[in-house]
Chains A and B, each alone.
Chain A
């Protein structure tokens, strides 16, 4: 049966454009920068324990980013991607889910993994590609993943996780599980074909997936006004027939509320939701990038005043759930712990040479076994050229 979607729409007898910017999209705000709540706000389901956990996660995120950017500058780490100024989007998204929900990320959502309890050692071992890395030292720093924590391993190609999230959520639905999938991506990645594929299929196939767009204003150097012309990413949700929310991405209470609402809806209706969180990438795209080449200090300062972590701290202080002394000791303790962890992880051996060929298939083929033997013989012949593995197999 074909769709009768258009039958109630008005008929006109003169060509009448729909203005591409005419869709008005409300933006959810709950928490003010001074820590007070907007009047009449529909609060998320959050108590003191969760609020403090959220704040501690935000603090851990900020300090880890600071220390790892510094480590990269010192030449200890090859690469890093910080999320300065937009930590609330990832931490808040995870805080609005249940632990059994799958999270499929782009690459700047380490906050979600932190919220789920990925250990400092796990972060470090991945970044230093040592033998204790869950990913076996195969991907560049920040490509984390954990089956135990329902956090899909990150892949560099942009947007590929979007249709995958639709499929993952469809599988959850098929098995009747109390689970949804949340899929993060940036406003730049939403230009990829996979965005269209994933959202359209989620709507048609009725998959309980939450598409969470972090609109942080920039795709490396390209500002969002050179990325798309419509009213953000949220306006597209309407076109796909997907219920859509826009939220202040620096307001973590609003992010949690939006995610909790989306989760309940997705599960109940077996339908996707699109959330667009408005924020700003205060830091560089990565340690290989320098934003001073494409934007002004004044622009950055405007967003500095919207710091989501300070906003959450102000909320905790206003609730009497936190004090300055606790705050000082939290940040100091984190700096010490992270520095110590860097020193340990960077000295751990690289993965065993056999991991060159494992996990390509469930079992290495005869050809792969033969190729590995050739490499081993070669390493044995020229051990000084291969210090990571020579003498270690």
Chain B
């Protein structure tokens, strides 16, 4: 096992994917020689050539349109959108095209080999256009899969699974953790399952659930709660679409309480979908209302980022609120 940060783990996964299949390509803005603004594709052009790893013009709708065509043709495109905040020009190509390609053609054609990678999330003093968490927009689109890793080990295994999955996958990478999160990562090939949550810490008093960079915050809050004698069951959802209802339901049946935390604004975020499903499935087992600890319903701030974010103290307070309900 090697120590890797999340960027190394992602780069390593891309390297494995490109070496096993000559039709796998990595492209996007500054992705080629420079290796991407975060260096996730570093060294890939040198190793696999300019035809398979290259810069594109600055045109997100073109990058994804191009990727859709490549995937339909039978290649395996891994397209990078430099920041998730800039994915919206490509919204039509993702939501109306990639997601519906197989369905609308009656399976004559598909873009199942498409993977879209994009750094998302705040905590880096990026303000309103370098901090957003847009997963809920895409979770509302049948035909897509949406995957978000929490650490280097998860990033490599989930990215390899996303690249090989026979459906278009959006892989959001928590950029705050790109270099901050370091851990043991096997150098060999492995995959982690899409659509399966992971119980990170077993507990009996309350289920607390998140994904991506928010997992670190959940863990801090759970540690604080332990001092109060509260045993949290901590779960990483890992896949937003499809999401693992069964694991969450089983946990809430046991604990009787659920807290969901997301970086994105509160209203109509994915936490709301989880809350609705859990109240339906677990209504008679719930000891308190489902708590959502989220960003405010505002654009992502800059100077007041600390106040805005769903930090570990806000999560900790919500845990106590739920327990004392």
Contacts and interface: CB of A to CB of B under 8 A. Distances in A.
A171 B104 contact: no
Contacts of A104: 69
A136 B70 CA distance: 24
Nearest to A175: B23
A182 interface: no
Contacts of B72: 152, 164, 167-168
A75 interface: no
Contact of B66 (A146, A152, A163): A163
Interface in A166-209: 166-172, 174-175, 181, 193-194, 196-198, 200-201, 204-205
Given A133-B106, A198-B62, A361-B167, A157 B67 contact: no
Interface in A109-145: 133-136, 138-139, 143, 145
A169 B105 contact: no
B93 interface: yes
Contact of B73 (A134, A171, A194, A197): A171
Contacts of A197: 57, 59, 61-62, 65-66
Given A196-B59, A197-B61, A200-B57, A170 B102 contact: no
A158 B305 CA distance: 40
B62 A174 contact: no
14 contacts: A104-B69, A145-B106, A147-B109, A153-B106, A153-B108, A166-B62, A167-B67, A171-B75, A174-B25, A193-B61, A196-B59, A205-B54, A205-B56, A362-B167
B66, B74, B102 pick with most chain A CB within 10 angstroms: B66
A359 interface: yes
A145 B69 contact: no
Given A153-B106, A163-B69, A168-B73, 17 more contacts: A135-B108, A136-B106, A138-B106, A145-B105, A145-B108, A152-B109, A153-B105, A155-B96, A155-B97, A157-B92, A163-B65, A167-B65, A168-B69, A171-B69, A198-B66, A201-B62, A359-B107
Interface string B102-139: 11111111101000000000000000000000000000
B77 interface: yes
Interface string B286-319: 0000000000000000000000000000000000
A170 B106 contact: no
B104 A155 contact: yes
A133 B108 CA distance: 11
A214 B40 CA distance: 42
Among all A-B residue pairs, the 9 with the closest Cβ atoms: A167-B69, A163-B65, A197-B62, A171-B73, A153-B105, A164-B69, A167-B66, A168-B69, A136-B106
Contacts of B77: 167
B187 interface: no
Given A155-B100, A166-B69, A194-B62, A134 B75 contact: no
Contacts of B59: 196-197, 200-201
Given A136-B106, A359-B106, A164 B65 contact: yes
A43 B71 CA distance: 37
A136 B102 CA distance: 11
Given A169-B69, A170-B69, A360-B142, A160 B93 contact: yes
A160 B72 CA distance: 13
A146 B100 CA distance: 16
Contacts of B142: 360
B63 to A, nearest CB: 8
A201 B106 contact: no
Contacts of B96: 155, 157, 160
A365 interface: yes
B242 interface: yes
B68 A167 contact: yes
Given A167-B67, A167-B70, A194 B23 contact: no
A146 B61 CA distance: 25
Nearest to A169: B69
A205 B97 contact: no
A162 interface: yes
A3 interface: no
Interface in B133-171: 142-143, 145, 166-167
Nearest to A368: B142
A166 B269 CA distance: 35
Contacts of A16: none
Contacts of B246: 366
A92 to B, nearest CB: 24
Contacts of A198: 62, 65-66
Contacts of A170: 66, 69-70, 75
Given A164-B72, A201-B57, A362 B112 contact: yes
A362 B113 CA distance: 11
Interface string B9-32: 000000000000001010000000
A165 interface: yes
Given A147-B109, A167-B73, A198-B62, A160 B104 contact: no
A152, A164, A171 pick with most chain B CB within 10 angstroms: A164
B302 to A, nearest CB: 29
A209 to B, nearest CB: 9
A201 B57 CA distance: 7
